Amino acid sequence: MAHGESVSAGHVSVLRREILAFAPQPTKRILDATLGLGGHAHALLSRHPEASLIAFDRDEEALAIASGALAPFAERTELRHRDFRDGLQDIPPRSLCYAIADLGVSSLQLDSQERGFSFRFEAPLDMRMDTRSGRSASDILNTASEKELERILREFGEEPKAKAIARSIVMERRSRSRWTTSAFASLVRRDARGRPGLDPATRAFQALRIATNSELSGLEVGLERLAHLLRPGGRLAVIAFHSLEDRIVKNVFRSLKKTGGFELLTPKPIVPQDDEKGFNARSRSAKLRVVSKRGDEGEGRPA
Ligand SMILES: C[S@@+](CC[C@H](N)C(=O)[O-])C[C@H]1O[C@@H](n2cnc3c(N)ncnc32)[C@H](O)[C@@H]1O
């Protein structure tokens, strides 16, 4: 595959060719739980002219861009501004051929100069994927207890200096009502140590983003629900970008296998090949795991 082929709407989808390769035969009903800019969805709809898509994203801006990118397929596409973890109730059981979830944050979010996901840009520390609801990262820094802040930094950022940073946040917020990316990054850099090539603020930003969007809570149940919506022979493919997420995916897939109703197609996670890592640095930490629902021959039989 040429590199240009991996780019849709000017954006590079991680593990795109692998996501295409795992699509079962036939692929008629697709669910994309995390549409983002629609790169995977575009590739699947182009490859499977008989397929229809239902797709979720919490981010309205992403949905607007994806809906433009997917305009050629508008008649077989339904987009929903919802968190997939609580938006699956009306999807009929045993209806999906292929469900995909490419978890975490998108390049649109990371590269936004206003939304506060990155310390590369000066902005209010918002970090919400869904800007219409929930507490911003700044609100969390100003309202969570010192213990809670320490837990967020330790659990979601594996930050060794979590205690010292939490203490500094509580001191700083006495005189600060709103946080910006630079204010939080400078505070973290005072207390934390980086590694060569890694800004000390990286872990704390990841931790705060995960907390702001409750990225891990309910993920297990959400993935189980997706798996149970598959028809026999249907597949669920999940891409995780950090070990906390990947551990949840691994455990859910193991439990599904234990039920006897699912087969694990990736005993070891699939990671991007060297060429992909070369042209898309963000793909480097990605891990793809896939399960297949066992069942009747001929009903969405695996390829
Ligand atoms: C890595 S990007 C997806 C990129 C997409 N696969 C592509 O090829 O363009 C992740 C997207 O999932 C969304 N997201 C993350 N968690 C979500 C959830 N629980 N429900 C719905 N959308 C979610 C984010 O807002 C973001 O736009």
Q: What is the 3-state secondary structure (H, E, C) of 90-107?
A: CCCCCCEEEEEEECCCCH
Task: Quote the pLDDT of residue 295.
Answer: 85
Q: Is 62 a pocket residue for ligand 1 (Cβ < 6 Å)?
A: yes
Task: Quote the pLDDT of residue 94.
Answer: 95
Task: Quote the pLDDT of residue 5.
Answer: 38
Tell me the DSSP string of 147-167. Answer: HHHHHHHHHHH--TTHHHHHH
Which atom of ligand 1 has the smallest separation from the CA of 39? 8
Q: Could you tell me the distance, in angstroms and rounded to a whole number, from the CA of residue 54 to the centre of ligand 1?
A: 14
Task: Quote the pLDDT of residue 9.
Answer: 42
Q: Could you tell me the distance, in angstroms and rounded to a whole number, from the CA of residue 38 to the centre of ligand 1?
A: 9
Task: Quote the pLDDT of residue 299.
Answer: 41
Domains and CATH numbers, the chain: 3-104+216-293 (3.40.50.150), 111-212 (1.10.150.170)
Task: Quote the pLDDT of residue 198.
Answer: 84
Task: Quote the pLDDT of residue 234.
Answer: 98
CA proximity to 29, closest of 206, 242, 229: 229
Q: Is 13 a pocket residue for ligand 1 (Cβ < 6 Å)?
A: yes
Residue whose CA is at the smallest distance from ligand 1 atom 18: 83
Q: Could you tell me the distance, in angstroms and rounded to a whole number, from the CA of residue 213 to the centre of ligand 1?
A: 12
Q: Could you tell me the distance, in angstroms and rounded to a whole number, from the CA of residue 35 to the centre of ligand 1?
A: 5
Task: Quote the pLDDT of residue 296.
Answer: 59
Q: Is 230 a pocket residue for ligand 1 (Cβ < 6 Å)?
A: no
Task: Quote the pLDDT of residue 29.
Answer: 98
The stretches in the chain having pLDDT less than 70 are: 1-11, 296-303
Task: Quote the pLDDT of residue 193.
Answer: 79
Q: Is 59 a pocket residue for ligand 1 (Cβ < 6 Å)?
A: yes
How large is the greatest C-alpha to C-alpha distance in the chain, in angstroms?
66
Task: Quote the pLDDT of residue 257.
Answer: 97
Q: Is 58 a pocket residue for ligand 1 (Cβ < 6 Å)?
A: yes
Q: Could you tell me the distance, in angstroms and rounded to a whole number, from the CA of residue 301 to the centre of ligand 1?
A: 27
